[in-house]
Structures are given as structure tokens and as C-alpha cells.
Structure 1
Amino acid sequence: MIALLRAAMPLFLAMVAGTAGSLVVTSVLGNHDTVTLAAFAVISAVLSAAAAAVQGALRGLGPFVAPFREEPAAAVPVVRDARWLSLATGLLGALVVLCVPPLARLTGVPDEVVREMGVLPWFLAAYLLVFASTGGASTILVALGRSGYVLWPTLVFGVGVAGLTALLVPGLGLTGVGIAWVLSGAGAAGVATLSLRKALGRPIGQGRPRTREIMKLARVSIPLAGTVLIKFGVLSVVTFAASTTGTRDTAAHAVLSTLTGMIMLASLSVAQAAVPEVARAADPAGARRAHRSAALLAVTGTLVVAGLLLGLGDNVLGLFTDDGAVRERALGLLPLMLLSATLDAAQAVQGTGLTALKRSASSLLYFVIGYGLLVVAAVPVARTWGIDGLWAAMAVANGLLVVLQGTGFHRHSARVGQNPGSTRSPAQAR
């Protein structure tokens, strides 16, 4: 478990750095102009979903690279295949971002907000392509046991986007944000590529696409991206349902949702660090042991943060709103939110365990079931029980995913090491 914690810590710090950079951008825009902030909020909502889907697809590379930890140079053909898949998913994400202005008009976004977007969608589309060009370098580094390298590209991006945004926005508005994202993304991509080359011990080069091998990667990666999109989509519906309950409750829901995202950083970092450990297991017992350690560490970290929030509740909530009524409402819902977040942390580890076994399609099916029920129930529950009912419904959905994905992991892990598709390393195979 100590080794897992050591591997997860750089990932956690990288996520914190990325989150801090995004908060600085929001703060700078909020102090610049309200319309500018509104335009950025509309675009970033789509960008976040597109980037998360691309990143989710790239995380599916872990179990294909992990077996080469002792012989990293042998992973180069897989890394080349990953680049082709990464560029394909990045191109799709970029096209979606470019569609934001016309879609915004169709959905009734005010014309002044749409006009304010200017060329930002083009810059952010370029940023997604730059991000995709790394071919999932961060996931590959984690799979090769080099998670410490992951922190530096994220720091370059976080510091770069925050500093350049503060410097360029006063004179260029959203165009300055776009320039900041592209330049910071390019810097981060350069650092990630150099780190990956160092970890592999040889140049990566560029090979012709191996269609069959790329499809093998896609069968794991694309369903993983699908689970991310489902979660983003359903939580958007939940937010819409919350907005029908009243201004105070809507604000309280927004604050609690922000806190949930921060709480999840610990569990997500542990889940990512655990993928190569599960993928390299030689037998069911080894896979389940690594998985249990990850689940225990993720839930423990979540409970520690939950305890701090319960103890410092009103003081923490005061950082997000100066409305006493909103703070009081959020404070009353805090225990229910923390229950939902803890279950979400557990299901995240269960889901990445299935990814490590190359069974992300099963995880996608479980998300369709669990979050499908949530999206159907969201509006009726909000009308009947308000946001109390919504957070209870989210806790139930996350609990159902824990059961479904946990059962699926136990079933699929029973076949580890028993067939050609097992996740044993080349050294173990010999």
C-alpha cells in the first residue's frame, strides 16, 4: 500500500495544480467582465466534457503498457499505436468545441455572450489537438512506474495558463485566454514528450498505423471515454433539476458539486496509480489484492477529507459564498454529499479495476444502468424532495455502481493469467 500511495501522490499533486490553474482563470475573467466570464463558462463546459472524454480514452492505454515496466523500450510500438488513437479522439473533441457557438445560439444563449466567444473555440480546439498529440504520455508514464514525471507537465500548464491569463486578459479578453491555453498546452506537451522518451530509453519515432492493434486499444479506451461522457451528461441533468428548486438551493447545489470535485481528486489519483498494479498481476489473488489496497486507500483518503469538511464546514463554505442562507443550506446537506462522494470514490476505483483487466465495456454497461436510472429520476425527485432528494439519489446511484462494478471485477479477475489476453508481463510469461 505504501508503494501505491507513493505512486498516487504525484498524480494527486498534478490534479491539484491543474485545478488551481483553472480557478485562477475563472477568477481573472470574473474580475474582467461578466459577459466574458459567461462566454468562457459556456465554452469551458463543453471543453471540460470533451477533454475528459479524450483523457478517459487515453487512460485505457494503461493495461497495454504496464506489462513492459521491466522492458520499457519494448513498449514503443504500443506508444505509437496510442498516438494514432489519441489524435483521432482529439480531433473529434476539437470538432465538438468548434460547434459551441452555433449550438449556443440554438439553445438560446444571449447573442452578446455568443459574440464574446470570438476566436476562443478555435484556440481551445487547437489546445485539444496539442494535448492529444502526446499520445496519453501521462497514462503511459504511470503504467511504466514513472508517475513522478507526471507532475511536471501539469505544473507547466497550471502555472503557464494562470500567469499568461492574468497577463493577457486585460488587453485581449477571451483571445488572451485562448493564447494562454495553447502556449501552456504546448509547453506541457513538450515536457511530457521528453519525460516519456526518457522513461522509454529510446526515441519513439513514427510508425505506420497498425489498424488491428489500434482497434485493440480502442476496445478498452473508447468505452472508458463513454463512461466519462455519461457521467458528465447525467450530472448536467442533475444540475438542471436542481435549478428548478429555487435560487438558494441551486447555489447550495453548485457549492456542494464543487466540493465533490475536489474530494474526488484523492480517489482518482489512487485509482489511476492502481491500474498498472492490477494489470501486471499474475493471478486472480494478486489482482484482487492490488484492487483491495487501492479501494481502501481511496476511501480512507476520502473519509479524511470528509472529516475535515465536517469539522470546518461553515468556514470552508464561506470561501465559496458570502450568503448566509446558502451556507446554512449547504451545511445541512454536507453529510449527504459526503456519503455520495465516498461511494463515488469507491466506484471510481472499481471502474478503473475493470479497465486494468481490459473490461471497460463492462464498466460502461454498469454506468448506463446506474446513471441511466439517475437521469430518469432526477427531475421527478427534485420536484418532490428538492435537492435533498437529488443528493440522496446520487448516493444511491453511486452505491449501485459500487455493487455492480465490484461484482464485475470479482468475476472478470477470476480469469487473470488463464488466457492469452491476461495482463501478465513479458518477464512473467517467460
Structure 2
Amino acid sequence: MISLLRASVPLLLAMIAGMVGSLIVTSVLGNHDTVTLAAFALVSAVLNPASAAVQGALRGLGPFVAPFRDDPKAAVAVVRDARWLSLATGTLGALVVVCVPLVASVAGVPDEVVREMGVLPWLLAVYLLVFASTGGASTILVALGRSRNVLWPSLAFGVGLGVLTAVLVPRLGLAGAGVAWVVSGSVAAGVAALNLRRAIGRPIGQSRPRVGEIAKLARVSIPLAGTVLIKFGVLAVVTFAASSSGTRDTAAHAVLTTLTGLIMMFSLSVAQVSVPEVARASDAVGARRASRTAALLAVMGTVVVAGLLFVLGDSLVAVFTDDPAVLARVVELLPLMLLASALDAVQAVQGFGLTALKRSSASLLFFSIGYGLLVVAAVPVARAWGITGLWTALAVANGLLVVLQGTGFHRHSGRLG
């Protein structure tokens, strides 16, 4: 457990660095101009799931690299294949981002907001391609037991993004934010490439695409990206359903969702570092032990955060809202939110365990079932029981995923050895 905790801390810090950089961007744009912030929010609404899908696809590389931890040079061929796959997924994501102004115009977004986007979609598409060009360096470093090196690219990106946005936006407007993303992403990609080369111990280079091997990577990576998209999409529907419960309940739901995101950063970092441990296990006993340990650690992290929330209570939640009615609603629903988060932490570890066993397609199926039921129930539940019913439905959906993912992991891990 100590080794998993030690390996997960750099990933957690990397996520925090990226989040801080994004918060600075939102703050600077909000103080610059309301229309500018609205335009950025629309483009980000597409960029975030697109980049999450690319990142999800890259996380599927872990089980292919983990067996080479003791001989990193032997992983070069896999790393080259990973670059081709990541560039393909990154190109698809970039095309989606470029189309945002067109979709916004068709959807009836005000012309001034569409015009304000300017070159931002193109710059963020370039950023997404730069991110994809790393070939999943962070996942590969974690799989090789070098999770500490993951912190530096994220730190470079977060600091660069915050500083450059503050300097460029007052002069260039929204285009300045786009330039900040591209420059910071390029610096982070350079740092990641340097760390990866040092970890492997030789230049990586590039070769012709090995279609068969890339297809093997895709069979694990693409379902994982699909899982991410399903979760993003369904949670967006849940948020839409929450808006039917009134303004204050909608605001309370937004605060609870933000707190959930903060809690899940630790769970996701633990889940990611558990992938190489499960992938390297020689039998079912070792794989299940690694998964249980990671799940226990993820739940312990949720319990620690729960303790802080209950101790600090109103003062902590007040950071997000100064409306007494919203504050009271959030505090009232904290236990339900924490239950949903704890179950989400467990199912995330089990889902990553299936990825480590190269069975991410099974995880995609389970997500389609659990979150498919949630998306069907969201609107009727919100109308009948408000956001209390929605968070109960989220907890039930996550509990169902714990059962499905856990059963699937137990069955597939039984084939090891």
C-alpha cells in the first residue's frame, strides 16, 4: 500500500497543477470580458471531453509497457506504436474542436460569442495535437515505475499556462489564451519527451506504423476512451436534469460536482498507478491483491476528504457560494455525495484493473449498462425528487458499477497463470 501511495502522489500533484492553471485562465478571462469568457466556455465544453478521450485512450498503453519495467529499452517498439495511435486519436479530437464555431452557429449561439472565438479553436486544436504527440508519455512513465517524473511536465504546463494567460490576454484577448495553451503544451511535451528518453535509456525515434500491433493497442485504448466519453456525456445530462429543480438546487449541484471532481483526483491517481501492478501480476492472487489494495487506498482517501468536509463544513463550502440557501443544501447532501464518490472510487480502480488485464471493452460494456440506466432515469428522477434523487441515482449507478466491474475483474483475472 505504501508503494502505491508513494507512486500516486506525483500524479495527484500533477492533476492539481493542471487544475490550478485552468482556474487562472477562467479567472483572467472572466475579468477581461464577459463575452470572452462565454466564448471560451463553449470551446472548452468541447475541448475538455475531447482531451479527456485522448488521455483515456493513452491510459490504455499501461499494460503493454508494464512488462518491460526491468528492461525499458525493450519497450521502444511499443512506444513507437503508441505515438501512431495517439496521433490518430489526437487528430480526431482536433477536428472536433475546430468545428465548434460551426456547431455553435447552427445551435443558435449569439453571433458576438461565435465571432469572439476567433482563432481560439484552431489554437486549441494545435494544442491537442501537441499533447497527442507525446504518445502517452505519462502513462508509459507510470508503467515503467517512474511516476515521479510525471509531475514535471504538468507543473511546467500549469505554471506556463497561468503566467502566459495573465500576460497575453489583456493584449490579445482570447487569442492570447490560445497562444498560452499552445506554448505551455509544447514546453510540457518537451519535458515529457526528455523524461521518457531518460527512463528508456536510448533515443526512441520513429518507424513505419505496425498496423497489427497498433490495432492491439487500440483494442484496449479505444474502449477506455469510450468509457470516458460516456461518463462525460451522462454527467452532462444529469447536470441538465438538475437545472429543472430550481436555481438554488442547480447551484448546489454545481458545487457538489466540483467537490466530487476534487475527491476523484486522488482516486484516479491511485487507479492509474495500480495498472502496472495488476498487469505485472503472474497469477489471479497477485492481480486481485493489487486491485484490492488500490481500492482500499482510494476509499481511504475519500474518507479523509469526508472527514475534512465534515469538520470544516460550512467554512469550506462557503468558498464556492455565499448564498445561505445553497450552502445549506450542499451541507445537507454532503453524506450522499461522499457515498457516491466512495463507490465511484472503487469502480474506477476495478475499471483500471480490467484495463490492466487488457479487457477495457468489458469495462465499456459495464459503463454502458450502469450509466445507460442513469441517463434514462435522470430527468424523471429530478422532476420527482430533485437533486436529492439525482445524487441517490448517482450512488446507485456507481454501486451497480462496483458490482459489475468487480465481477468482471474477478472473472478475467481468474484466467491469469
TM (normalized to structure 2)? Answer: 0.99
What is aligned with 1:404?
404
Q: In 1, distance between residues paired with 2:234 and 2:313?
A: 27
Q: In 1, distance between residues paired with 2:109 and 2:379?
A: 22
The Cα shift of 1:204 comes to: 0.2
One-letter identity of the residue aligned with 2:329: R
Give the secondary structure class of the aligned counterpart of 2:245. Answer: coil
CA RMSD of aligned residues (A): 0.7
- Report Cα offsets for 1:41-68 as digits up to 9, x if no partner: 1111110100000000000000000000
Q: In 1, distance between residues paired with 2:75 and 2:258?
A: 38
Q: In 2, distance between residues paired with 1:35 and 1:204?
A: 45
Structure 1 window deviating more from structure 2 (130-139 vs 31-40): it is 31-40
What is aligned with 1:303?
303
One-letter identity of the residue aligned with 1:415: R
What is aligned with 1:428?
none
What is aligned with 1:247?
247
Structure 1 window deviating more from structure 2 (111-120 vs 218-227): it is 111-120
Give the secondary structure class of the aligned counterpart of 1:141. Answer: helix
One-letter identity of the residue aligned with 2:266: A
Q: In 2, distance between residues paired with 1:210 and 1:84?
A: 9
One-letter identity of the residue aligned with 2:32: H
What is aligned with 2:193?
193
- Report Cα offsets for 1:269-305 as digits up to 9, x if no partner: 0000000000000111010111111000011011111
What is aligned with 1:155?
155
- Report Cα offsets for 1:169-189 as digits up to 9, x if no partner: 111111010000000000000
Structure 1 window deviating more from structure 2 (352-361 vs 308-317): it is 308-317
Q: 1:310 to 1:108 in 2, by over 3 A?
A: farther
One-letter identity of the residue aligned with 2:119: V
The Cα shift of 1:369 comes to: 0.1
The Cα shift of 1:124 comes to: 0.3
1:408-423 matches, cutoff 5 A:
408-417=408-417
Match status 1:386 vs 2:386: yes
- Report Cα offsets for 1:304-344 as digits up to 9, x if no partner: 11111122121111111111211111111111111111111
What is aligned with 1:219?
219
What is aligned with 1:425?
none
Unpaired runs of 5+ in structure 1?
A: 418-430
What is aligned with 2:110?
110
- Report Cα offsets for 1:150-181 as digits up to 9, x if no partner: 00000000000000001111111110100000
What is aligned with 2:258?
258
Structure 1 window deviating more from structure 2 (103-112 vs 249-258): it is 103-112
The Cα shift of 1:238 comes to: 0.5
What is aligned with 1:422?
none
Q: In 2, distance between residues paired with 1:152 and 1:83?
A: 20
The Cα shift of 1:108 comes to: 2.4
Match status 1:339 vs 2:323: no
One-letter identity of the residue aligned with 1:116: E
Give the secondary structure class of the aligned counterpart of 1:244. Answer: helix
The Cα shift of 1:94 comes to: 0.2
Q: In 1, distance between residues paired with 2:255 and 2:41?
A: 16
Unpaired runs of 5+ in structure 2?
A: none
The Cα shift of 1:103 comes to: 1.0
Q: In 2, distance between residues paired with 1:122 and 1:383?
A: 40
- Report Cα offsets for 1:84-131 as digits up to 9, x if no partner: 000000000000101111111222222221111111000000000000
What is aligned with 2:125?
125
Q: How many residues align?
A: 417
Q: Name the % identity.
A: 78
Q: In 2, distance between residues paired with 1:306 and 1:41?
A: 30
